[in-house]
Amino acid sequence: MSEGFSREGFNAVAHIEADANACSTLKTRLAYHYHKEKKSLKRYYDYLRKENSREDLWAGVPSGLLDSIIQEEISQKNLKLLYSKIDKLLGERTVDLLIGGPPCQAYSLVGRSRDPNRMVGDARNYLFRHYAKFLRRYEPRFFVFENVLGLMTAGNESYLNEMRNLFRKIGYQTDLGVLNAEDYGVLQRRRRVVIIGRRGSGFFDFPKLETIKNEWQIKKDLFADLPNLRPGEEMDVATYSAPTNSYLETTDIRNGLKFTTQHITRNHIERDLEIYSIAIDNWVNGRKRLKYNELPLHLRTHKNVAGFLDRFKVVDPLGHSHTMMATLPRTGITTFILIATKLDPFRCGRRPVFNLFRTITFSKGVGQRHLHKLVTLFHH
């Protein structure tokens, strides 16, 4: 969300983030926006091409801006420190907007189904109370709070009700909506709950957002310009293999560059290739998802055949992707398979295929203790 609001002209006063890698990403994006404004993006492009280091990129940004990335855990013991840092960054300005949200595991249906206690008593359920403390102190005109759909049913709706009652008690009228990224140009069906709050006592309705007609396709529009790679190959910097198209231009994915980075494929072992072939046959011949307990015994490596059965999902190349879930610790890996139609790429049995996967890595303890990506304060 920080990136989106920055692109719309909001100036971030402070980002609070516990994870070091996430903070590095925030600093790098801050450097991009700074150099774009100063018309000095060559320094950023040189970094992408690995012609200079990340530290060299950051060195070109005023230290006061980089100080807005605060790597700290949001907890009761840290509040005084965090307030002090934010107050110094804020100066005489006021906060117009606060965005963020607590980790989704406590509210997600998947998280609840895999936790032996169904997340009852998990401290992350109540991290929104810290969010309210920032609202009370800085009194932004608006806030935006985002989380997974499970928030609407977690604790028999008790968490959502307590959350909205708390926001109302400290002076904010709220309304919520369920937004699907697919309605805004993303080639993935991904729904999230968004709560918007406005300071004051007047009635507030969730705004009607403009959607776009999304008839683009995964293979033809999203991946058409990427060079072919075989399993295990990678290109840190890759030149596009085809001209841009309407989708890449409309969504600004190409961003004016003539190259892309981190174009990487994973290695496949023979067992996985056999599984992929079965998954693809199921999808192509019947639009049916492969369930793990339907695999032949010699292809199974997990004892659990009662839950988490959707370990292998075929992404429809002629349409949009289903919701891509992250890899979570101790829960296994979801592998996303995209069917290719060229003869050359990666062969899975008799079918060309390449594999997509997306992983979120959690630093030690983040899942249990940290309020991850909670707060960004903006001045507009």
Phi/psi at 162 (5° precision): -65, -40
- Collapse the DSSP code of 125 into the 3-class scheme (helix H, G, I; strand E, B; otherwise coil) and give the result: helix
Out of 26, 30, 82, 104, the active site residue is: 104
Q: Distance between CA atoms of 117 and 228, rounded to whole angstroms?
A: 45
* Separation in Å, CA 291 to CA 268, 307, 308, 359: 20, 10, 9, 21
Judge contact between 374 and 70, C-beta under 8 A.
Answer: no
Catalytic site includes residue 104 = yes
Tell me which residue of 194, 229, 160, 186 sits closest to 319, measured CA to CA: 186
118 — alpha (psi -120 to 50), left (phi > 0) or beta? left
209, 206, 160, 189 alpha-carbon torsion, rounded to 10°:
-10
Q: Distance between CA atoms of 208 and 226, rounded to whole angstroms?
A: 36
Q: Distance between CA atoms of 380 and 168, rounded to whole angstroms?
A: 24
Phi/psi at 224 (5° precision): -65, -25
Angle at which helix 128-138 crosses helix 79-90, to 10 degrees, equals 40
Q: Distance between CA atoms of 378 and 35, rounded to whole angstroms?
A: 19
* Separation in Å, CA 316 to CA 52, 175, 246, 280, 322: 38, 34, 20, 10, 8
Judge contact between 53 and 106, C-beta under 8 A.
Answer: no
Instruction: Name the residues annotated as catalytic.
Output: 104
